[in-house]
Amino acid sequence: EGSNTQNENGIYAGLKLKLSPSWTINTYADLFKFPWMKYLVDAPSTGNEFLFQPTYKPNKQLEIYMRFRQQLRQKNAREQDGLVTPIENVVQRNYRLNISYVVSEFLTLKSRIEYVTIDRPSSPHEDGMIITQDVLFKPKNLPFDLTLRYALFDTDSYDSRIYTYENNALYVFAVPSYYYQGSRAYVLVRYTFLKRFDLWVRYGNFLYNNRSVISSGAEQINGNRKSDITIQLRVKF
């Protein structure tokens, strides 16, 4: 569960079932225990995680999968008496539907809708949702690739945020969190020239509907827009 196995005991088991040429089921169970305190948990704690994901792929062009994942982790309760900090169960459930369709050898469309719920005794029920549409354009006879995304999201707070993978430059791993209410769009272009050079340019933008100030401290933005840009050049010798 953490970056290493310090202060952790657990067991993990995964299973993949090939029911037919078109249907596959992936599932796993993860049980873990922390014998000592950890960040935001002032006592020994336990937890578990379960996933169930059926995938339907009738041909090379279409793939549909559904996913259910439940995570139970123990954290400090938000209601305290000032003497002892009790811990409580925090249950998160994620529901996802993902559709990928290869229109042609150079054009792929990917659509996703995901819904999340958060339940804990010391806070009201929270939920969130995100809808994303990706377009991947990779022509073989042209020196560039193009990736586009548009997303709409709405969550009750940062606690009910949803993480979603984003395409980026080579060796750049991007899984930002989507939270509050708004939209997100980005465009990524890869351009190859002179046989030795590869240039990646990526621009993304968050537009929040219910925020007038984003982040805080040195990262505070006075407004409802947050932009990011990546430029990377690779030279082959």
Query: In the structure, what pLDDT confidence band is assigned to residue 81 with cuts at 50, 70 and 90?
Result: confident
Query: In the structure, what pLDDT confidence band is assigned to residue 112 with cuts at 50, 70 and 90?
Result: very high
Inter-residue contact 47 to 75 (CB < 8 Å): no
Residue 161 clears pLDDT 90, i.e. is over it: yes
In this predicted model, what pLDDT tens digit does every residue of 180-204 receive, in sequence order? Answer: 999 999 999 999 999 999 999 999 9
Helix (H, G, I), strand (E, B) or coil at 218: helix
Residue 84 clears pLDDT 90, i.e. is over it: no
Q: What is the mean pLDDT of the chain?
A: 95
Average pLDDT over residues 136-140: 94
Average pLDDT over residues 117-125: 95
Residue 165 clears pLDDT 80, i.e. is over it: yes
Angle at 191 between CA 131 and CA 163, to 5 degrees: 25
Average pLDDT over residues 70-91: 90
In this predicted model, what pLDDT tens digit does every residue of 202-232 receive, in sequence order? Answer: 999 999 998 999 888 898 999 999 999 999 9
- pTM: predicted TM-score of the whole model, two decimal places: 0.92
- Distance, in Å, from the CA atom of 163 to the CA atom of 137, rounded to the nearest integer, reads 24
pLDDT of residue 234: 97
In this predicted model, what pLDDT tens digit does every residue of 29-59 receive, in sequence order? Answer: 999 999 999 988 999 999 999 999 999 999 9
Average pLDDT over residues 147-154: 98
pLDDT of residue 215: 87
pLDDT of residue 150: 98
pLDDT of residue 153: 98
In this predicted model, what pLDDT tens digit does every residue of 1-19 receive, in sequence order? Answer: 877 888 999 999 999 999 9
pLDDT of residue 135: 98
Inter-residue contact 186 to 166 (CB < 8 Å): yes
Buried b (16+ CB within 10 A) or exposed e, 142-157: eeebbbebebbbbbbe
Q: What DSSP assignment string belongs to 71-130?
A: EEEEEE-S---SS---EEEEEEEEEEEEEEEEEETTEEEEEEEEEEEEEETTEEEEEEEE
Average pLDDT over residues 106-115: 98
% of the chain surpassing 70 pLDDT: 100
> Is the alpha carbon torsion for 147, 170, 154, 96 positive or negative?
positive
